[in-house]
Chains A and B, each alone.
Chain A
Amino acid sequence: GAGVSQSPSNKVTEKGKDVELRCDPISGHTALYWYRQSLGQGLEFLIYFQGNSAPDKSGLPSDRFSAERTGGSVSTLTIQRTQQEDSAVYLCASTHPRGLAGDNEQFFGPGTRLTVL
């Protein structure tokens, strides 16, 4: 079956522009996560959606970052007024309510590589 998909795969933008990154989770997965992976760094948690609950936004680095999830499925991560330090790979993951490997096994998409010039 289809896995988590993300678009675009690569995005080059100029400093100060807004960007939107899209994530299509696996059908039926109720939880969706966004992470940021900078060169040589581990994955940094950004935001977490679980069903109809209020999202956990505790990882968003600034108010320039926001995300929404429409209809409990597709999610969009928006970065306003991009800065060079926003350059990174943005990864999305989704989770089945009862993963085969136990609680909360996360399936990751291929990521969007964002470059801010």
Chain B
Amino acid sequence: EDQVTQSPEALRLQEGESSSLNCSYTVSGLRGLFWYRQDPGKGPEFLFTLYSAGEEKEKERLKATLTKKESFLHITAPKPEDSATYLCAVRSNTGKLIFGQGTTLQVKP
């Protein structure tokens, strides 16, 4: 069964304190792993797509990496405006996106 598990469920950081969010997955025929950011009361906002193990993508303070079993979202020197829920999803060979439950990040000044 296709499955996505994110950890931790919640993460509190001080401004400038770097950390990583984990997304573990099992999927039949990975056709992409997606990271989204979701602010309260809004729909998810696309961040990255990764397709193959070893691939990395960066955007400002965020860097996403991918292995055959998991993906990490590294946050370097976070700021309070990085506070949000980060969602991971995988697309299997059925074409559908399967989402994890998300990691809620709070960055305190």
Chain A interface (Cβ within 8 Å of chain B)?
4, 33, 35, 40-45, 48, 56, 58-59, 91, 93, 101-111
A-B contact pairs, 14 of them (CB 8 A): A40-B101, A45-B96, A48-B95, A56-B96, A58-B96, A59-B96, A101-B48, A101-B49, A103-B31, A104-B91, A105-B34, A105-B49, A106-B97, A111-B42
- For B12-49 the 0/1 string (1 means CB < 8 A from A) is 00000000000000000001101010000111111011
Inter-chain CA distance A93–B34, complex, in Å, is 14
Residues of B near A105 (CB, < 8 A) are: 34, 46, 49
Residues of A near B41 (CB, < 8 A) are: 110
Taking the nearest CB of chain B, how far is it from the CB of A93, in angstroms? 7
Residues of A near B100 (CB, < 8 A) are: 42
